[in-house]
Amino acid sequence: QRAVPKRERWAWAGLVAGVALSMQWRPTHLLWHAFATPNGSPYRQTFVLAGLLVTAAWVSVSYGRPERRALLGGSAVLVLLAAGAGFSGLVTGWTYPLFALGLGAALLALLLVGRGGRYAALAAVLLIGAQAGQAAAATAYFDRQRLNRLDDYAPWGERQSTQRAVVAGAEDWPHTRTDPGREQTTANDPLLVGGQGGAYYSSHTPDVLTRTMRALGGGWTSNGRAVQSLDNPVTDAVFSVGARVRGPRDPHQGAGHTGMGAPDGRPVTASRAGVPPLVTVRPADGSAGGPVAYGRSAFRNQELLLGSRVYTVPPTTLRAVPDGTAPVTDRGAYDYRVGRGAYTLAAACPAGSEAYLWTPDMFGRARLGDGRDVEFKGQLPARRAAMQHLGRVGADG
Protein backbone atom coordinates (compact mmCIF):
# COMPACT_ATOMS: atom_id res chain seq x y z
CA GLN A 1 0.00 0.00 0.00
CA ARG A 2 2.14 2.82 -1.36
CA ALA A 3 -0.05 5.50 0.18
CA VAL A 4 1.42 4.55 3.57
CA PRO A 5 4.76 6.30 4.33
CA LYS A 6 7.72 4.04 3.57
CA ARG A 7 9.12 3.98 7.11
CA GLU A 8 5.70 3.05 8.52
CA ARG A 9 5.27 0.29 5.91
CA TRP A 10 8.60 -1.26 6.86
CA ALA A 11 7.86 -0.93 10.58
CA TRP A 12 4.55 -2.81 10.34
CA ALA A 13 5.90 -5.45 7.94
CA GLY A 14 8.95 -5.98 10.16
CA LEU A 15 6.86 -6.22 13.33
CA VAL A 16 4.52 -8.83 11.81
CA ALA A 17 7.43 -10.86 10.37
CA GLY A 18 9.38 -10.66 13.65
CA VAL A 19 6.40 -11.87 15.70
CA ALA A 20 5.76 -14.75 13.25
CA LEU A 21 9.42 -15.83 13.39
CA SER A 22 9.54 -15.54 17.19
CA MET A 23 6.85 -18.22 17.36
CA GLN A 24 9.15 -20.68 15.52
CA TRP A 25 12.40 -20.19 17.48
CA ARG A 26 12.30 -22.26 20.68
CA PRO A 27 13.61 -19.67 23.22
CA THR A 28 11.20 -16.93 22.10
CA HIS A 29 8.39 -19.48 21.56
CA LEU A 30 8.73 -20.49 25.21
CA LEU A 31 8.87 -16.82 26.24
CA TRP A 32 5.41 -16.30 24.69
CA HIS A 33 4.01 -19.02 26.99
CA ALA A 34 5.82 -18.22 30.25
CA PHE A 35 8.29 -21.02 29.44
CA ALA A 36 5.74 -23.88 29.20
CA THR A 37 4.35 -24.82 25.77
CA PRO A 38 0.57 -25.35 26.22
CA ASN A 39 -1.02 -28.75 25.92
CA GLY A 40 -3.02 -29.30 22.74
CA SER A 41 -2.10 -26.47 20.38
CA PRO A 42 1.49 -25.22 20.80
CA TYR A 43 0.61 -21.99 18.94
CA ARG A 44 -1.99 -20.41 21.20
CA GLN A 45 -0.20 -17.07 20.89
CA THR A 46 -1.22 -16.69 17.23
CA PHE A 47 -4.13 -14.42 18.22
CA VAL A 48 -1.42 -11.78 18.79
CA LEU A 49 -0.23 -12.21 15.20
CA ALA A 50 -3.81 -12.02 13.91
CA GLY A 51 -4.36 -8.83 15.92
CA LEU A 52 -1.23 -7.23 14.46
CA LEU A 53 -2.32 -8.13 10.92
CA VAL A 54 -5.77 -6.59 11.46
CA THR A 55 -4.22 -3.45 12.99
CA ALA A 56 -1.74 -3.13 10.11
CA ALA A 57 -4.57 -3.57 7.59
CA TRP A 58 -6.65 -0.88 9.32
CA VAL A 59 -3.72 1.56 9.28
CA SER A 60 -3.09 0.73 5.63
CA VAL A 61 -6.68 1.36 4.53
CA SER A 62 -6.83 4.56 6.60
CA TYR A 63 -4.41 6.12 4.07
CA GLY A 64 -6.74 5.38 1.16
CA ARG A 65 -7.96 2.54 -1.01
CA PRO A 66 -5.19 0.12 -2.02
CA GLU A 67 -4.22 0.20 -5.70
CA ARG A 68 -4.77 -2.75 -8.02
CA ARG A 69 -1.23 -4.16 -7.63
CA ALA A 70 -1.55 -4.21 -3.81
CA LEU A 71 -4.92 -5.96 -4.01
CA LEU A 72 -3.61 -8.56 -6.47
CA GLY A 73 -0.52 -9.16 -4.31
CA GLY A 74 -2.63 -9.59 -1.17
CA SER A 75 -5.00 -11.95 -2.97
CA ALA A 76 -2.06 -14.02 -4.25
CA VAL A 77 -0.70 -14.39 -0.70
CA LEU A 78 -4.14 -15.50 0.49
CA VAL A 79 -4.43 -18.08 -2.29
CA LEU A 80 -0.95 -19.45 -1.50
CA LEU A 81 -1.83 -19.78 2.19
CA ALA A 82 -5.06 -21.59 1.35
CA ALA A 83 -3.26 -23.94 -1.03
CA GLY A 84 -0.55 -24.69 1.52
CA ALA A 85 -3.14 -25.42 4.20
CA GLY A 86 -4.75 -27.94 1.86
CA PHE A 87 -2.10 -30.52 2.80
CA SER A 88 -2.98 -30.30 6.50
CA GLY A 89 -4.82 -33.13 8.22
CA LEU A 90 -7.04 -30.51 9.83
CA VAL A 91 -8.72 -29.63 6.52
CA THR A 92 -12.23 -31.11 6.15
CA GLY A 93 -14.98 -30.94 3.56
CA TRP A 94 -16.31 -27.80 5.26
CA THR A 95 -13.03 -25.89 5.30
CA TYR A 96 -13.00 -24.40 1.81
CA PRO A 97 -16.74 -23.59 1.60
CA LEU A 98 -16.39 -21.61 4.84
CA PHE A 99 -13.21 -19.99 3.54
CA ALA A 100 -14.98 -19.02 0.30
CA LEU A 101 -17.94 -17.65 2.28
CA GLY A 102 -15.69 -15.38 4.32
CA LEU A 103 -13.70 -14.25 1.29
CA GLY A 104 -16.84 -13.53 -0.72
CA ALA A 105 -18.37 -11.55 2.16
CA ALA A 106 -15.19 -9.47 2.53
CA LEU A 107 -15.02 -8.64 -1.19
CA LEU A 108 -18.72 -7.74 -1.29
CA ALA A 109 -18.30 -5.53 1.80
CA LEU A 110 -15.40 -3.69 0.11
CA LEU A 111 -17.54 -3.10 -2.99
CA LEU A 112 -20.38 -1.74 -0.84
CA VAL A 113 -18.04 0.62 1.02
CA GLY A 114 -16.72 1.85 -2.33
CA ARG A 115 -20.24 2.88 -3.33
CA GLY A 116 -20.43 5.42 -0.51
CA GLY A 117 -21.05 5.87 3.21
CA ARG A 118 -24.74 4.93 3.02
CA TYR A 119 -23.73 1.29 2.42
CA ALA A 120 -21.28 1.14 5.35
CA ALA A 121 -23.86 -0.29 7.78
CA LEU A 122 -24.84 -3.00 5.27
CA ALA A 123 -21.18 -3.88 4.74
CA ALA A 124 -20.66 -4.17 8.52
CA VAL A 125 -23.72 -6.46 8.87
CA LEU A 126 -22.40 -8.61 6.02
CA LEU A 127 -18.99 -9.04 7.60
CA ILE A 128 -20.37 -9.69 11.10
CA GLY A 129 -22.87 -12.22 9.73
CA ALA A 130 -20.18 -14.08 7.79
CA GLN A 131 -17.90 -14.24 10.84
CA ALA A 132 -20.74 -15.41 13.08
CA GLY A 133 -21.65 -18.12 10.58
CA GLN A 134 -18.06 -19.31 10.29
CA ALA A 135 -17.65 -19.33 14.07
CA ALA A 136 -20.89 -21.27 14.63
CA ALA A 137 -19.99 -23.91 12.03
CA ALA A 138 -16.44 -24.27 13.38
CA THR A 139 -17.64 -24.54 17.00
CA ALA A 140 -20.16 -27.26 16.08
CA TYR A 141 -17.43 -29.23 14.28
CA PHE A 142 -14.87 -28.76 17.10
CA ASP A 143 -17.32 -29.87 19.78
CA ARG A 144 -18.11 -33.08 17.88
CA GLN A 145 -14.42 -33.85 17.25
CA ARG A 146 -13.47 -33.07 20.85
CA LEU A 147 -15.84 -35.76 22.16
CA ASN A 148 -14.43 -38.28 19.66
CA ARG A 149 -10.75 -37.56 20.26
CA LEU A 150 -10.26 -36.37 23.84
CA ASP A 151 -10.87 -37.83 27.28
CA ASP A 152 -14.41 -37.22 28.47
CA TYR A 153 -15.51 -37.26 32.11
CA ALA A 154 -18.95 -37.56 33.66
CA PRO A 155 -20.42 -35.00 36.08
CA TRP A 156 -20.47 -35.85 39.78
CA GLY A 157 -22.65 -38.87 40.53
CA GLU A 158 -22.88 -42.14 42.43
CA ARG A 159 -19.48 -43.36 41.23
CA GLN A 160 -17.68 -40.30 42.55
CA SER A 161 -19.59 -40.35 45.85
CA THR A 162 -18.70 -44.03 46.42
CA GLN A 163 -15.06 -43.46 45.48
CA ARG A 164 -14.79 -40.47 47.81
CA ALA A 165 -16.35 -42.41 50.71
CA VAL A 166 -13.95 -45.36 50.25
CA VAL A 167 -10.95 -43.00 50.07
CA ALA A 168 -12.07 -41.23 53.25
CA GLY A 169 -12.46 -44.57 55.05
CA ALA A 170 -8.91 -45.63 54.11
CA GLU A 171 -7.24 -42.26 54.77
CA ASP A 172 -4.10 -42.36 56.96
CA TRP A 173 -2.45 -39.06 56.13
CA PRO A 174 0.21 -37.92 57.05
CA HIS A 175 1.58 -41.35 58.03
CA THR A 176 1.02 -42.87 54.56
CA ARG A 177 -0.65 -41.96 51.30
CA THR A 178 -4.02 -43.17 49.99
CA ASP A 179 -4.27 -43.54 46.20
CA PRO A 180 -7.77 -43.12 44.67
CA GLY A 181 -6.84 -45.74 42.04
CA ARG A 182 -5.92 -46.22 38.39
CA GLU A 183 -9.55 -46.33 37.22
CA GLN A 184 -9.73 -42.57 37.06
CA THR A 185 -12.81 -40.39 37.33
CA THR A 186 -10.84 -37.37 36.09
CA ALA A 187 -7.20 -36.58 35.35
CA ASN A 188 -6.94 -35.03 38.83
CA ASP A 189 -8.67 -37.60 41.05
CA PRO A 190 -6.83 -36.71 44.31
CA LEU A 191 -8.19 -33.17 43.98
CA LEU A 192 -11.72 -34.41 43.33
CA VAL A 193 -12.28 -37.43 45.56
CA GLY A 194 -9.43 -37.08 48.07
CA GLY A 195 -6.29 -39.04 48.73
CA GLN A 196 -2.67 -38.38 47.78
CA GLY A 197 -2.22 -40.46 44.62
CA GLY A 198 0.06 -39.89 41.66
CA ALA A 199 -2.64 -38.88 39.14
CA TYR A 200 -2.01 -35.23 38.36
CA TYR A 201 -2.77 -32.88 35.49
CA SER A 202 -1.70 -29.31 34.83
CA SER A 203 -0.44 -27.27 31.90
CA HIS A 204 2.58 -26.69 34.16
CA THR A 205 3.21 -30.27 35.31
CA PRO A 206 6.86 -30.31 36.47
CA ASP A 207 9.17 -31.96 33.95
CA VAL A 208 10.97 -33.84 36.73
CA LEU A 209 7.68 -35.49 37.76
CA THR A 210 6.90 -36.62 34.21
CA ARG A 211 10.45 -37.94 33.69
CA THR A 212 10.43 -39.80 37.02
CA MET A 213 7.07 -41.47 36.41
CA ARG A 214 8.16 -42.40 32.89
CA ALA A 215 11.31 -44.04 34.24
CA LEU A 216 9.22 -46.05 36.73
CA GLY A 217 6.78 -47.33 34.10
CA GLY A 218 4.08 -44.72 34.65
CA GLY A 219 1.46 -43.77 32.09
CA TRP A 220 0.21 -40.42 30.90
CA THR A 221 -2.07 -38.58 28.50
CA SER A 222 -1.84 -35.02 27.14
CA ASN A 223 1.78 -35.45 26.00
CA GLY A 224 3.02 -36.07 29.53
CA ARG A 225 1.05 -33.42 31.39
CA ALA A 226 -1.65 -35.77 32.77
CA VAL A 227 0.41 -38.24 34.79
CA GLN A 228 -1.45 -41.41 35.85
CA SER A 229 -1.31 -43.47 39.01
CA LEU A 230 1.02 -46.48 39.13
CA ASP A 231 -0.49 -49.59 40.71
CA ASN A 232 2.17 -52.03 41.91
CA PRO A 233 3.67 -52.88 45.32
CA VAL A 234 7.15 -51.58 44.49
CA THR A 235 6.12 -48.02 43.64
CA ASP A 236 3.56 -48.10 46.49
CA ALA A 237 6.45 -48.87 48.86
CA VAL A 238 8.64 -46.16 47.31
CA PHE A 239 5.89 -43.52 47.56
CA SER A 240 4.45 -44.80 50.89
CA VAL A 241 1.03 -45.64 49.46
CA GLY A 242 -0.46 -47.54 52.41
CA ALA A 243 -3.99 -47.79 50.98
CA ARG A 244 -5.12 -48.13 47.39
CA VAL A 245 -8.64 -47.91 45.99
CA ARG A 246 -9.66 -50.17 43.10
CA GLY A 247 -12.93 -50.21 41.25
CA PRO A 248 -14.70 -50.78 37.93
CA ARG A 249 -14.07 -48.86 34.75
CA ASP A 250 -15.80 -45.53 34.46
CA PRO A 251 -19.22 -46.27 32.88
CA HIS A 252 -19.00 -42.88 31.18
CA GLN A 253 -15.99 -44.17 29.21
CA GLY A 254 -17.91 -46.54 26.94
CA ALA A 255 -16.41 -48.77 24.27
CA GLY A 256 -17.47 -46.29 21.59
CA HIS A 257 -15.41 -43.49 23.13
CA THR A 258 -12.06 -45.22 23.64
CA GLY A 259 -12.43 -48.30 21.46
CA MET A 260 -11.76 -50.37 24.57
CA GLY A 261 -13.88 -52.56 26.85
CA ALA A 262 -17.21 -51.68 28.40
CA PRO A 263 -17.57 -50.97 32.15
CA ASP A 264 -17.31 -54.04 34.39
CA GLY A 265 -18.99 -55.13 37.59
CA ARG A 266 -16.08 -54.98 40.04
CA PRO A 267 -16.94 -53.37 43.41
CA VAL A 268 -15.06 -50.38 44.77
CA THR A 269 -12.61 -51.64 47.39
CA ALA A 270 -9.60 -50.39 49.34
CA SER A 271 -6.56 -52.61 49.94
CA ARG A 272 -3.93 -51.89 52.58
CA ALA A 273 -0.22 -52.71 52.68
CA GLY A 274 2.64 -52.16 55.07
CA VAL A 275 4.89 -49.48 53.59
CA PRO A 276 7.81 -47.36 54.85
CA PRO A 277 7.09 -43.96 56.43
CA LEU A 278 6.24 -41.02 54.19
CA VAL A 279 9.82 -39.73 54.43
CA THR A 280 12.40 -42.52 54.36
CA VAL A 281 16.13 -41.81 54.59
CA ARG A 282 18.59 -44.40 53.30
CA PRO A 283 22.39 -44.45 53.69
CA ALA A 284 24.43 -42.81 50.96
CA ASP A 285 25.58 -45.28 48.30
CA GLY A 286 28.19 -43.16 46.59
CA SER A 287 25.72 -41.46 44.23
CA ALA A 288 24.06 -39.26 46.85
CA GLY A 289 23.78 -35.63 45.89
CA GLY A 290 23.41 -36.23 42.15
CA PRO A 291 20.42 -37.18 40.01
CA VAL A 292 19.30 -40.81 39.92
CA ALA A 293 20.81 -42.56 36.91
CA TYR A 294 17.72 -44.22 35.44
CA GLY A 295 18.17 -46.90 32.79
CA ARG A 296 15.84 -48.12 30.04
CA SER A 297 14.06 -50.77 32.14
CA ALA A 298 11.21 -49.53 34.32
CA PHE A 299 11.56 -52.73 36.39
CA ARG A 300 15.20 -52.01 37.20
CA ASN A 301 14.47 -48.32 37.84
CA GLN A 302 11.85 -49.26 40.43
CA GLU A 303 14.36 -51.55 42.11
CA LEU A 304 16.92 -48.74 42.09
CA LEU A 305 14.65 -46.58 44.26
CA LEU A 306 13.49 -49.51 46.37
CA GLY A 307 17.06 -50.62 47.09
CA SER A 308 16.34 -54.29 46.46
CA ARG A 309 15.95 -56.78 43.58
CA VAL A 310 12.37 -58.03 43.34
CA TYR A 311 11.69 -58.56 39.62
CA THR A 312 12.61 -61.41 37.31
CA VAL A 313 12.90 -59.92 33.83
CA PRO A 314 13.04 -62.96 31.51
CA PRO A 315 13.92 -63.20 27.81
CA THR A 316 10.75 -62.97 25.74
CA THR A 317 9.57 -64.15 22.32
CA LEU A 318 6.89 -62.32 20.39
CA ARG A 319 4.93 -64.17 17.70
CA ALA A 320 2.02 -63.23 15.54
CA VAL A 321 -1.31 -65.02 16.04
CA PRO A 322 -3.05 -67.20 14.83
CA ASP A 323 -0.46 -69.39 13.08
CA GLY A 324 2.59 -68.20 15.01
CA THR A 325 4.96 -69.26 12.23
CA ALA A 326 6.42 -65.82 11.51
CA PRO A 327 8.19 -64.42 14.59
CA VAL A 328 8.15 -60.65 14.93
CA THR A 329 11.61 -59.09 14.85
CA ASP A 330 12.96 -58.57 18.37
CA ARG A 331 14.89 -55.28 18.38
CA GLY A 332 15.79 -55.50 22.05
CA ALA A 333 14.09 -56.42 25.29
CA TYR A 334 12.34 -53.02 25.50
CA ASP A 335 11.86 -52.14 21.85
CA TYR A 336 9.33 -54.23 19.93
CA ARG A 337 7.95 -52.59 16.82
CA VAL A 338 4.83 -54.32 15.62
CA GLY A 339 1.70 -53.43 13.70
CA ARG A 340 -1.98 -53.96 14.43
CA GLY A 341 -3.03 -57.49 15.19
CA ALA A 342 -2.89 -60.24 17.81
CA TYR A 343 0.39 -61.52 19.26
CA THR A 344 1.66 -64.02 21.79
CA LEU A 345 4.40 -62.85 24.15
CA ALA A 346 6.12 -65.91 25.66
CA ALA A 347 8.38 -65.84 28.72
CA ALA A 348 9.44 -68.26 31.45
CA CYS A 349 8.50 -66.91 34.91
CA PRO A 350 8.67 -68.41 38.41
CA ALA A 351 5.48 -70.39 39.07
CA GLY A 352 3.08 -68.58 41.37
CA SER A 353 4.75 -65.18 40.92
CA GLU A 354 2.85 -62.03 39.99
CA ALA A 355 3.23 -61.01 36.35
CA TYR A 356 3.53 -57.36 35.32
CA LEU A 357 3.58 -56.13 31.73
CA TRP A 358 5.23 -52.90 30.63
CA THR A 359 4.42 -51.89 27.05
CA PRO A 360 4.33 -48.06 26.87
CA ASP A 361 3.28 -47.66 23.23
CA MET A 362 0.59 -50.34 22.95
CA PHE A 363 -3.07 -49.44 22.53
CA GLY A 364 -4.93 -52.68 23.09
CA ARG A 365 -5.52 -55.51 25.53
CA ALA A 366 -3.32 -58.13 27.14
CA ARG A 367 -4.33 -61.33 28.92
CA LEU A 368 -2.33 -63.83 30.98
CA GLY A 369 -3.67 -67.34 30.31
CA ASP A 370 -7.39 -67.41 31.03
CA GLY A 371 -7.30 -64.24 33.12
CA ARG A 372 -9.18 -61.03 32.51
CA ASP A 373 -8.31 -58.56 29.77
CA VAL A 374 -6.12 -55.67 30.92
CA GLU A 375 -6.28 -52.45 28.91
CA PHE A 376 -3.22 -50.51 27.75
CA LYS A 377 -3.80 -47.07 26.23
CA GLY A 378 -0.48 -46.06 24.75
CA GLN A 379 0.03 -43.97 21.60
CA LEU A 380 3.34 -42.19 22.05
CA PRO A 381 4.06 -39.39 22.52
CA ALA A 382 0.55 -38.16 23.41
CA ARG A 383 -0.43 -41.26 25.42
CA ARG A 384 1.80 -43.59 27.41
CA ALA A 385 0.53 -46.90 28.80
CA ALA A 386 1.43 -47.63 32.41
CA MET A 387 2.96 -50.88 33.67
CA GLN A 388 0.09 -53.11 34.78
CA HIS A 389 -0.55 -56.30 36.74
CA LEU A 390 -1.69 -59.20 34.53
CA GLY A 391 -2.22 -61.89 37.17
CA ARG A 392 -0.53 -64.84 38.87
CA VAL A 393 1.74 -67.12 36.84
CA GLY A 394 0.49 -70.70 36.56
CA ALA A 395 2.27 -73.83 37.72
CA ASP A 396 3.86 -74.35 34.30
CA GLY A 397 5.56 -70.94 34.46
Q: What is the pLDDT of residues 46-90, one digit of tens each?
A: 899 999 999 999 999 899 888 899 889 988 998 898 888 888 887
Contact call for residues 52 and 16 (beta carbons, < 8 A): yes
Give me the pLDDT at residue 354, please: 96
DSSP for 149-214, written as a single string: HS---PPS-HHHHHHHHHHHHH--TTTSEEE--SS-SSTTHHHHH-S--S-EE-TT--HHHHHHHH
Report, as ranges of residue numbers, the positions in the chain whose pLDDT lies below 70.
39-40, 151, 253-263, 282-291, 323-337
Instruction: Count H helices and E strands in the chain, helices first.
Output: 12, 12
Q: Please tell me the predicted confidence (pLDDT) of residue 359.
A: 92
Interatomic CA distance for residues 144 and 147, integer angstroms:
6
- pLDDT tens digits, residue range 313-355? 998 888 888 766 666 665 555 555 677 888 889 999 999 999 9
Coil/strand/helix, residue 344: strand
pLDDT at 396: 92
Running DSSP on this structure, what letter comes out for residue 292? -
Q: Which of 252, 376, 249, 234 is nearest to 305 (CA)?
A: 234
From CA 278, how far away is CA 264, in angstroms rounded?
33
Count CB atoms within 10 A of the CB of residue 120: 13
pLDDT for the residue 323: 67
Q: Using alpha carbons, select from 253, 249, 252, 233 the residue that is nearest to residue 241.
A: 233
Torsion of CA 143, 146, 151, 156, to 10 degrees: 0
Q: What is the pLDDT of residue 94?
A: 82
- 270's enclosing H/E stretch is strand 269-272
Rounded-to-integer distance, Cα 285 and Cα 114, Å: 81
- Measure the CA–CA gap between 16 and 397, rounded to whole angstroms: 66
The whole-angstrom separation of Cα 263 and Cα 252 is 8
What is residue 4's predicted lDDT score, i.e. its pLDDT?
94
Of 224, 232, 171, give the one whose Cα is nearest residue 202: 224
CA 379 → CA 112, 219, 222, 363, 382, distances in Å? 52, 11, 11, 6, 6
- What torsion do the CA atoms of 61, 66, 70, 71 make, to the nearest 10 degrees? 90
* Dist. CA 77–CA 93, nearest whole Å: 22
Please report the pLDDT score of residue 329 as a whole number. Answer: 63
**pLDDT for the residue numbered 101:** 87
Taking the whole predicted model, whether its pTM rises above 0.95 is answered as: no
